Amino acid sequence: MKAVQTGRPDYDARMRRARHLAAAHPFAAEVLTFYERLVAFQKDFYGKIRCSGRVPPRSGMDGHLRSELHLGDLLRHFPELLALLRNVGPQPVAEAARAMASRASSEWSDLLMDFWSFSRGTESGAEVQDLPAQPLEEFVLRAFLQPYAEFLAGRMPEAPLAATYRSCPRCGSPPLLGVLRQEGDGGKRRLLCSFCLQEWDFRRIFCAACGEEDEKKLPVYVAEQFPHVRVESCDTCGFYLRTIDLTKDGNAVPLVDDLAAIPLSLWAHERGYARVHPNLLGT
């Protein structure tokens, strides 16, 4: 694999898009305003990770992002996230952060290590395990570790294109989203990882959950309210993947536009489809 620097995540773009969508879609304003505050923490935390000088120079460079977690001094920033969530999070999130804040730091370390260790495996079509944690607790752990995962993933070699990976080739996590990017006269499909937030190439007519290839069993739905957001469902396995079509809206930020498309989740669930993996805020 050729080493490719994927670049730093653009946290400012995520915050700008959250503000824009909050104004455009009042029903999602509370979620997006909270997300903006969370991204501000993640941006600051990412900067501290880059400047810490304590990340092992080859961490993540063996092709397995989850091969080892080096918390080191990073753990001392965990209370900052808990304080933020207690102050600005929705009530269930604030209560979860309050409960976690009452635990010993050794318990925090164990929880973070357990979260990091789960869902490993980078083989094409690998089964991904579920973390045995409460959803709100998992949210806190994921929100904290995601900037570190993004940092390591940006230092890793680009994924090979010899196989169709239904789980992230860098960290083994399931996909969060599909992304259609302009290429030639059409759109090229990529998948966005639910944890390290890196993208990899993926076939257009292919279920990311079960590998179904029959186009007749892979219906696509688009709502008038969100013309650039597709619900790509599978009648074989009953899962769906939300896809952000950048050929229709080049200003979209997939990670953020996904959060705003709350009605599409309700629509899919009413028809019996389950999402391959929820986004950070469960919208």
Is the pLDDT at 73 greater than 90? The verdict is no
For position 44, what pLDDT does the model report?
A: 97
Instruction: Please check whether residues 57 and 115 belong to one and the same domain.
Output: yes
Q: Per the domain annotation, does 196 fall within a domain?
A: yes
pLDDT-derived band at 159 (thresholds 50, 70, 90) equals low
Boundary (domain end) residue, out of 92, 122, 153: 153
The percentage of the chain sitting over the pLDDT mark of 70, rounded to a whole number, equals: 84
For position 37, what pLDDT does the model report?
A: 98
Instruction: Please check whether residues 127 and 90 belong to one and the same domain.
Output: yes
For position 66, what pLDDT does the model report?
A: 75
Instruction: Please check whether residues 147 and 236 belong to one and the same domain.
Output: no
pLDDT digits (tens, 9 = 90+) for 181-203: 987 777 789 999 999 999 999 98
Q: Which residues contact 37 (CB under 8 A, 6 or more apart)?
A: 84, 88
Q: Where are the alpha helices (DSSP H) in 53-204?
A: 78-88, 91-101, 105-117, 135-153
pLDDT digits (tens, 9 = 90+) for 204-233: 899 999 999 999 999 999 999 999 999 999
Q: Per the domain annotation, does 167 fall within a domain?
A: no
Instruction: Please check whether residues 139 and 200 belong to one and the same domain.
Output: no
Is the pLDDT at 264 greater than 80? The verdict is yes
Average of pLDDT values for 251-256? 97
The structure's pTM equals: 0.88
Instruction: Please check whether residues 86 and 195 belong to one and the same domain.
Output: no
Domain that holds residue 27: 11-153
pLDDT digits (tens, 9 = 90+) for 32-64: 999 999 999 999 999 999 887 655 544 544 456
CA distance 37 to 31: 10
Give the burial string for 248-257 (b: 16+ CB within 10 Å, else e): beeebbbbbb
DSSP-assigned states of every residue in 160-185: PSSS--SS-TTT-PPEEEEEEEEETT
Which of 165, 190, 206 lies closest to 247 in space, CA to CA? 190
